[in-house]
Chains A and B, each alone.
Chain A
Amino acid sequence: MKALLGLAARSAWARRGTLALVVFSIALATLLLLTLERMRADVRESFAQSVSGTDLIVGARTGAVQLMLYSVFHVGGATNNIKTTSLDAIAKHRAVDWVVPISLGDSHRGFSVLGTTVDYFRRFQYADHQPLRIAQGRAFAGDLDGLYDAVIGAEVADALGYRLGQRIVLSHGAGGLPGAEHADKPFTVVGILARTGTPVDRTVHVSLAAIEAIHLDWASGAPMPGVAIAPEQARKFDLTPKSVTAALVGLKGRVAVFAVQRFVANYPDEALMAVLPGVALDELWQVVGVGEKALLGMSALVAIVSLAGLVAVVLAGLNERRRELAVLRAVGAGPRHVLWLLAGEGVLITTLGVAIGCVASVLLIALAGPWAQARFGIALHLAPPSGAEWALLGAVLAAGVFASLVPGLRAYRLSLADGLSPKV
């Protein structure tokens, strides 16, 4: 057996060109599998952490997924608004620490506009309890002087090329309708948020009072004929909102979460509901997570193709090697040695390929991670392989071992049948 190991190494080295290709394709398959799996897990995680640090999201009574969709992802609309008096009542609950109201409905060139309080920038958290960070400028002040101030997400700034001081006009509703613009009350960009990889990036933030101000002279979704209130005049009105779309709620302690949820659900004056963001996001993921299975299927296919390549290369090389195997047989190697020689080579090649693939995957994640975070908001983390990744690696290795047994067994049978003169 020891005699064979050295020979196997020399033989493999002599065929290094072909074998390098096989190692390369196995490494590539491993790299794809690992990186896709890591991406899948991280995308899922960053999705699940689109909002964190918020214990409950309160809105009009509807489905949990729908509430998440419009309050966090700004997709679709609320069936009903909620009264600010209800929010005041919730804020007075002894377990509640803070309440941040949000008001949705308007847009700016396809990006949603979110009216909120200054607290939003302090309370809203995403991913692993990361607070929002203002990359340039400042948050809106929330007073009457800064009534028409806007803070935009990173993607809004990138996509529209906005800088601080940019004047922007909000559209009523989803936009696109002529005349449905709040052109009389333009806003000024005073802050640009750092990229988060969450819907915040695609949002224009203004104060609740500003939302009230631009709708003073509107009724039922259209400007009131004959009524025009100038931007300066608007400051004289009472701009306290009567209703908002939803609210983020933070508790003093997590233990009270179900009690507060029940309190909201049983609120007598209005049909309200409160959802736990984590739970609702999980439900939502089940809807949008089909894509991840497609990704996983793709990488499995890649792995199968490269292993088929391994078998093909070793089998094709087998005919060339029949002479070599006959020589070994003549000097006293048995058919079993021949089997081990080929199978052993396959196992080593697979192991080497998998190892190189792992290293490449780590390098790729380390090097491209910051870029992916900045460009796509996907936070890729370097971490020791997870259970699923170990399973993938094990599967590639097992398949490689199995695949290399095929040529090994064939060589075994050939060397039994050929005697010493291979029929080639």
Chain B
Amino acid sequence: MLEIDALRFAWRGAASDTLRIDHLAVARGETLFLHGPSGSGKSTLLGLLAGVLMPSAGHVKLLGVDWASLSAARRDARRAEHVGYIFQQFNLLPYLSVLDNVLLTARFSTRRGAQAAQHAGSVREAAQSLLQRFGLDAALWARPASTLSVGQQQRVAAARALIGRPELVIADEPTSALDAALRDGFMDLLLGECRAAGSTLVFVSHDERLAARFERRLSLEQVNRAEGSR
């Protein structure tokens, strides 16, 4: 499903590598908890997994296809089709409604749109049922995303990442802005929906209390052999 081989990555202008990973594989449907302190290169690794950053050496393969073998435009299209992404915060376009934010994915990928429609009848219905399952009432759907609370915004972001059942969902500390009660509720919903969709989840956090919920946990410090990293 997701495979890293002999990966090396250095930011432009940096003297030493940020990341050096010999091998890492994630199976289909697996939920992986990746932790590490700030600055350990977690976000960089996620960028490499999503095909936004290109490694200096080695391979990152999604569903058997090396990101580096694709043109920039093909990578963008492939990311839209197979990857759902949740940021720490500011996930939503403030000027779009809640529903339009969820439908954003389908605007860039017809495949995701078609998959969503296949299960729910139409893309719109798929988005609505996802929002419902994430506990967002129909009354909120037409409101601009900027009027929602942070907890609500993160649930909208999760719904957007999951629509059309992408093979891979990447979450970059999505709970760091949430308090304990909201965080637990969010984790329940996210893990449940990933399982239901059969999506692989790569979840990054420095909050190790969350690790127990995942099938597998991994410390980035253990797998990263770059000397510059802590």
Q: Which positions in A face B, CB cutoff 8 Å?
A: 3, 6-7, 10-11, 13-14, 323-324, 326-337, 417, 419-421
Are B90 and A323 in contact (CB-based, < 8 A)?
Answer: yes
- Which residue of chain A has its CB nearest to the CB of B44? A419
- Which residue of chain B has its CB nearest to the CB of A334? B76
Are B107 and A327 in contact (CB-based, < 8 A)?
Answer: no
B79 beta carbon closer than 8 Å to chain A: yes
Chain A residues within 8 Å of B109, by CB:
332
Are B90 and A327 in contact (CB-based, < 8 A)?
Answer: yes
**A13–B52 Cα gap in the complex (Å)?**
29
Are A13 and B95 in contact (CB-based, < 8 A)?
Answer: yes
Are B108 and A332 in contact (CB-based, < 8 A)?
Answer: yes
Q: Which positions in B face A, CB cutoff 8 Å?
A: 12, 43-44, 46-47, 50, 52-53, 72-73, 75-77, 79-81, 85, 87, 90-96, 104-105, 107-109, 160, 172
CB distance from B12 to the nearest CB of A (A): 7
Are A331 and B80 in contact (CB-based, < 8 A)?
Answer: yes
Q: Enumerate 28 A-B pairs (CB-CB under 8 Å) in ascending A order.
A: A3-B107, A6-B107, A7-B107, A10-B93, A10-B95, A14-B95, A324-B93, A326-B87, A327-B92, A329-B52, A330-B85, A331-B80, A331-B85, A331-B104, A331-B105, A331-B107, A332-B76, A332-B80, A332-B109, A334-B72, A334-B75, A335-B72, A336-B72, A336-B73, A337-B76, A419-B52, A420-B50, A420-B85
Are B95 and A11 in contact (CB-based, < 8 A)?
Answer: yes
Please pick, from A11, A13, A333, A335, the residue contacting B108 in the complex, using a CB distance under 8 A.
A333
Are B47 and A417 in contact (CB-based, < 8 A)?
Answer: no
Chain A residues within 8 Å of B79, by CB:
330, 332
**A419–B72 Cα gap in the complex (Å)?**
13
Chain A residues within 8 Å of B76, by CB:
329, 332-334, 337
Please pick, from A3, A14, A327, A419, the residue contacting B91 in the complex, using a CB distance under 8 A.
A327
Please pick, from B44, B77, B96, the residue contacting A332 in the complex, using a CB distance under 8 A.
B77
Are B53 and A327 in contact (CB-based, < 8 A)?
Answer: no
- Knowing A3-B108, A420-B50 are in contact, say whether A11-B93 is a contact too (CB < 8 A): yes
Are A419 and B85 in contact (CB-based, < 8 A)?
Answer: no
